[in-house]
Structure 1
Amino acid sequence: MSVSERGAFFDEFEAALTTGELTDFGAAVRSLRSCTGFGQRRFAAMLRLPLETLRAIESNQSVPDVLTLNRILFPFGFQAGITRFIRSTHPAPETYLQTGIMTNHREKYP
């Protein structure tokens, strides 16, 4: 992947996160890995993560903590954080609950 292609990929990735289109974190990690051209073993070594951890994250069998999340995102110029989302650009919060993204979130939205 060329530098300009990688830049376009990251712009699209960021837009998908911002608008709420990208809700499958495992798929997001796989797509980031794909832009490196690395297999899981090499990518996990680069991130200093156990291979089993990376496999579990990519298959959505594990949800990473913030430190692990930042370890994955940092090499690509991203970091995890807390931000407000714009309701008009995100699907209904119930969608997040159904997909399991906010399964521990017990508040009801107005």
Structure 2
Amino acid sequence: MRSGCCSRPATRRRASRAALPCPAWCGASFAGARSVLATHWAVESESATALTSATFSAQGKGTLSRGESLRQAQLAMLDGKLGNGRWSHPFYWAPYALFGDPVR
């Protein structure tokens, strides 16, 4: 798992990258990956950790696809099962998108 593409502060050298959406300039970092879990906007760290951990934990059991694992983690967050209701607002669970192969 790779994270933090958008969390790095922009510097003069990276200023042009900072203006681009993460998938546009981070894509090279994931060359060879079957899929990438990315966000459409900056996310809060604690909820991001919980959602990605739940996603990869469910997917690692081998019964759910990557896409379904993400969906289940998002639903758990929405329903308040993940984060005790603190992250039920769409700001916390909606920015995630799975690019690439959602099945394996």
Shared topology, TM-score over 0.5?
A: no
Relative contact order, higher structure (CA 8 A, sep 6+): 2
So what's the TM-score if we normalise by structure 1?
Answer: 0.29
So what's the TM-score if we normalise by structure 2?
Answer: 0.30
Higher share in strand:
2
